[in-house]
Amino acid sequence: MERARRGDENAYEELVRAHQGIAFRTAYLLAGNAADAEEAAQDGFVKAYRALGRFRAGSPFRPWLLQIVANEARNRRRSSGRRDALALRAAAEETSGGAAPSPEGDLLAGEERERLLAAVNDLREEERLVIACRFFLELSEEETAAALDLRLGTVKSRTSRALDHLREAYA
C-alpha cells in the first residue's frame, strides 16, 4: 500500500489484482450488467489511484475502494435510466463430470435453493442489496455500508428486517 501511495504502479497493480474480484462483483450487483460493472470497476480503480495520496495510511483499503466503485456503478445505472432490478440467478447444477460436491453443497439442493433465491429476488431492492452484500458477496457490515452508502446502523437494521422477511417467505 505504501509503495502504491508513492506511485509504484507495480504495487498498485498488485492491489488491483487482490481486489478486482470483489470490486467487479459489487459493481455488477449495483450496475446490473457486466459491461457497466467492468467500466465502473475500472474507473473506480483509476480514481482510487489518483486519490491515493489522500488515502489515510493505516485505514482499510477495501471499504474505501468499494465506496468509489459502487458510486461509479450507481452512476452508470442512473444515467442509463434503467429501473429494473438485477435478478439474481443460480448457476446450473453440474450433474456430471464435475468435482464432488462440497459438504455445504448438500445443504441447499434443487428446489430449496430456487425457493430461497426467489424469496431474495422478491425482497424490496434496498433489502435485497443488503442481503446480497452481506451474504452473497460476504462483505463486512462496514464494507456494506460503504458500498451502499448507508450508515452502519442502517445496514444492521435493514439486514435484520430483510432476514425477517426472508424467514416469513421462506419458512
Near another protein by CB under 8 A: residue from 50, 95, 99, 110: 50
92 versus 96: smaller Cβ distance to another protein: 92
C-alpha cell at 56: 489515510
Burial (CB < 10 A; 0-12, 13-18, 19+), residue 17, is: exposed
89 touches another protein by CB under 8 A = yes
Distance CA 39, CA 20 (A): 12
54 versus 96: smaller Cβ distance to another protein: 54
The pattern of x and - marking residues 102 through 131 that bind another protein according to CB under 8 A reads: --xx-xx---xx--xx--x----------x
126 versus 136: smaller Cβ distance to another protein: 136
CA dihedral 102, 108, 109, 113 (to 10 degrees): -130
12 versus 129: smaller Cβ distance to another protein: 12
Angle (CA) 65 30 38, round 5°: 65
C-alpha cell at 81: 435510466
39 touches another protein by CB under 8 A = yes
Tell me the closest approach of the beta carbon of residue 4 to another protein, in angstroms: 10
- In sequence order, the 6+-apart residues with CB closer than 8 A to the CB of 23 are 41, 44, 45, 65, 66, 69
81 versus 97: smaller Cβ distance to another protein: 81
Alpha carbon separation from 79 to 71, 83, 106, 128, 147 (Å, rounded): 12, 10, 42, 21, 18
Tell me the closest approach of the beta carbon of residue 91 to another protein, in angstroms: 4
SS3 category, 70: helix
Binding site for another protein (CB under 8 A): 7, 9, 12-13, 16-17, 20-21, 23-25, 28, 34, 36-39, 41-43, 45-47, 49-56, 64, 67-68, 71-72, 74-76, 78-79, 88-92, 104-105, 107-108, 112-113, 116-117, 120, 131-132, 135-138, 149, 163, 166-167, 170
